[in-house]
A and B are shown apart, each in its own frame.
Chain A
Amino acid sequence: MKAYDTVIGLEVHAQLLTRTKIFCGCSTRSGLPPNTNTCPVCTGMPGVLPVLNRKVVDFGIMLGLATGCRIAPRCIFARKNYFYPDLPKGYQITQYEHPLCEGGTIRIETGQGVKRIGITRIHMEEDAGKTIHDEKAPYSYVDYNRAGVPLLEIVSEPEITSTDEAVAYLRELRQILMYLGICDGNMEEGSLRCDANVSVKPAGSSRYGTRTELKNMNSFRNVQKALEYEIERHIGIRESGHEVVQETLLWDPSRGVTVSMRSKEESHDYRYFPEPDLVPVEIGEAWIDGLRSGLPELPFARRKRFSGQYGLPAYDAGVLTQTKALADYYEEGVRLLDRPKEISNWIMTEVMRILNEKGIPITGLNVSPAMLTGLIALIGGGSISGSMAKDVFAEMAATGDSAESIVERRGIGQISDETELLSLAREIIDAHPDEARRYRSGKAGLLGFFVGKLMKATRGEANPKLASKIMKELLEG
């Protein structure tokens, strides 16, 4: 039995896929030369006024609906005051009282079945700029291209009780964001950032332990490792009779440790107050209904449906619904050819291998669902063997040609030369006199044995139907 219970709450920042920033018309594109995507608004020049990008509210409402939140009929923005060079105004425009969404749920799969993790709130805010620190000189370099890029902050309830659950929650949230098409979900590049509040308490106790806040975990793996490290650190401190200090820590992935970020005397005193430069946002039923009707089927529902409708194992359903595009690809395939499990197998092996090798999404694959099902139909029709089909598929992916034209061009698909098959078949029968005798005395099931030998002798290139016919004739003739 565990001596301690772990309590984790996650704060996730999702960078939104709008074309322009949240309060000005500057582009949200990344990777541009420093400070070229800025204007007087996002560099905080005196006298400028922010104007809210409607799309940001749309995206926030969509995520709120997807996670079962209440959408606030009226919400306001707030100023969060602190000084840091990446924040040109000296405050961040965010939401504090009256956020956009409250009280939702994300369902995750755990070893003990489905668990619901509460969403406390989802709010809109602007991103800060980026600072680069000089190792040698006493300077930092600031780039405001990211300042004002829209973010949604998604705050979970402290209902996550293990690192595995934390990762599952994060994966599910990321998948929802990507299905909605409102965030690209790239953790390494910072489009999806995760902070965690961690504490431990004696098993069964209702009193929370002192929590620490973890930042800088820019991959699922780092989230897992940082949380594991921090939980062990808390337990170690308690075991040695000391108290955990409430503070903010940075995960250092190269050394695998958490590092204290702020000095103790520096307190969080953000002096939030309602943002006087922005008027309230009122969200009526018509606005919400318009967005609700455009929501896609969400990952959890789609996984369940794939299992039920196509009779797929949970594993297959999970892999195929990883991205909306892959799930769409699969369903288009099944629509064209009613062989759900076979198509699933092909996607999970050959298709995924090509995607991983080339580092491309399914939308970048040369092989359309119709081409894939064309190939599978050829196998079913006996024109080519399963192992030949893998070669054909690789060529389809490389050239974009259809299975039929590749089979025809390469003259593969079947050894239909009866003479060649006949001589091979005779050798096999001669090599297995016992089996041949038993077959002839009525053991009809042995035909499969002989056909298998023949297929193997041709490295799978024999037309299986022809191979079967020849074997049968020879054995019975």
Chain B
Amino acid sequence: MQDLIYISIDQHGVEGALRKDVKITDDQILHVADLALIRLDDDEVRGLRSQLDKILGYMDILAVVDTTGVAPTHHPLPLVNAMRDDHGQGCQDLDDVLRNAPQHEDGYIVVPRVIGKGMRENA
């Protein structure tokens, strides 16, 4: 079992750890929104900016901890090699699969068209 490092917020002081000078920008928020495929209006961007600033500030508390010589944790469980043999166990009934799809046709799940926009030829 790896050694766990406990951080007490009281001990270090939240305010002390917060990065006062680094603020998340509107562009960064809009970029993340874009990646998450959500649309935000100006009020929402403003609201998220102050919330994300706080969240990132909490993250900065972790940076206070000296991790020199500590191996990165890739998984919290002390387990490795949880594997299965290459044997089948049967698939789900097609009707069950399609029950979760808002729209389907001939066994296919139907979605809004996802290709064609912005295609440009290099000829």
Answer yes or no: are A and B bound together in one complex: yes
Q: Which of B16-24, B52-60, B112-120 contacts A (4 or more CB under 8 A)?
A: B112-120
- A57 shortest CB reach to chain B, Å: 7
Query: Within residues 232 to 261 of chain A, which ones have a CB less than 8 A from any CB in chain B?
Result: 233, 249, 255, 257-261
Contact check, A141 vs B105: say whether CB atoms are below 8 A apart: yes
Q: At the interface with chain B, which of A268-276, A298-306, A317-325, A346-354?
A: A268-276
Q: With a CB–CB cut-off of 8 A, which chain B residues contact A453?
A: none
* A43/B89 in contact, CB under 8 A: no
Asked whether, in the complex, the Cβ of B122 is within 8 Å of the Cβ of A258, the reply is: yes
Question: Is the pair B35, A271 in contact by a Cβ cutoff of 8 Å?
Answer: yes
Task: Specify which chain B residues have a CB less than 8 angstroms from the CB of A233 in the assembled complex.
Answer: 122
Say if the beta carbon of A422 comes within 8 Å of chain B. Answer: no
In the complex, the answer to whether B122 meets A249 with C-beta atoms within 8 Å is yes
Some 29 contacts from A to B, beta carbons below 8 A apart, are A19-B86, A20-B87, A25-B88, A25-B91, A51-B82, A51-B84, A53-B84, A53-B85, A53-B86, A81-B35, A137-B113, A140-B111, A141-B108, A141-B109, A141-B110, A142-B110, A144-B97, A144-B109, A258-B122, A260-B118, A260-B121, A261-B119, A263-B117, A274-B74, A276-B76, A278-B82, A279-B77, A279-B79, A279-B80
B76: chain A residues at CB < 8 Å are 276
Contact (Cβ within 8 A) B86 A34: no
**B residues touching A (Cβ–Cβ < 8 Å)?**
31, 35, 37, 74-77, 79-92, 94, 97-98, 100, 105-123
Query: CB-CB < 8 A to A141: which residues of B?
Result: 105, 108-111
CB pair A138–B112 under 8 Å, yes or no, is yes
Contacts known (A138-B113, A269-B35); A281 close to B81, Cβ less than 8 A: yes
Complex Cα distance A279/B80, Å?
Answer: 5
Q: Which residues from A are CB-within-8-Å of B87?
A: 19-20, 25
CA distance A15 to B85 in the complex (A): 18
Chain A hits for B100, CB < 8 A: 43, 45
Whether the pair B88, A34 counts as a contact (CB closer than 8 A) is no
Which residues of A are interface residues toward B (Cβ below 8 A)?
A: 18-20, 25-27, 33-40, 43, 45, 51-55, 57, 74, 76, 81-85, 98, 131-134, 137-144, 233, 249, 255, 257-263, 269, 271, 274, 276, 278-282
A54 touches B107 (CB 8 A): no
Who on chain B is nearest to A137 by CB? B113
> Which of B92, B113, B122 has a CB less than 8 Å from the CB of A259?
B122
CB-CB under 8 A from B98, the residues of chain A are 35
Give, as a whole number of angstroms, the nearest-CB distance from B114 to chain A.
5
A-B contact count (CB 8 A): 150
User: Please, which residue of chain B has its CB at the minimum distance from the CB of A252?
Assistant: B121
In the complex, which residues of chain A have a beta carbon less than 8 angstroms from the beta carbon of B119?
A: 259-261
Q: Is A131's CB under 8 angstroms from B122's CB?
A: no
Residue from the list A38, A51, A258, A259 in contact with B91, Cβ < 8 A: A38
The 10 closest A-B pairs by CB, nearest first: A25-B89, A141-B108, A263-B118, A55-B86, A34-B107, A260-B120, A54-B83, A85-B111, A142-B109, A138-B113
Q: How far is the CA of A276 from the CA of B74 in the complex (A)?
A: 8
Nearest-neighbour CB distance to chain A for B50, whole angstroms, equals 22
Chain B residues positioned under 8 Å from A133 (CB to CB): 113-116
In the complex, besides A25-B90, A98-B74, A279-B75, 15 extra interface pairs with C-beta distance below 8 angstroms are A19-B86, A20-B86, A35-B94, A45-B100, A54-B86, A57-B83, A141-B109, A255-B123, A260-B118, A260-B121, A261-B119, A262-B118, A271-B35, A280-B74, A281-B83
Q: From A274, which residue of chain B is reached at the shortest CB distance?
A: B74
Residue ID in chain B nearest A267 by CB atoms: B31
Q: How far is the CA of A57 from the CA of B110 in the complex (A)?
A: 34
Across the interface, A139 reaches (CB within 8 A) one of B37, B80, B82, B112, namely B112
Say yes or no: A37-B82 contact (C-beta < 8 A), given A259-B119, A260-B122, A263-B118: no
Set of chain A residues within 8 Å of B35, measured between Cβ atoms: 81-82, 269, 271
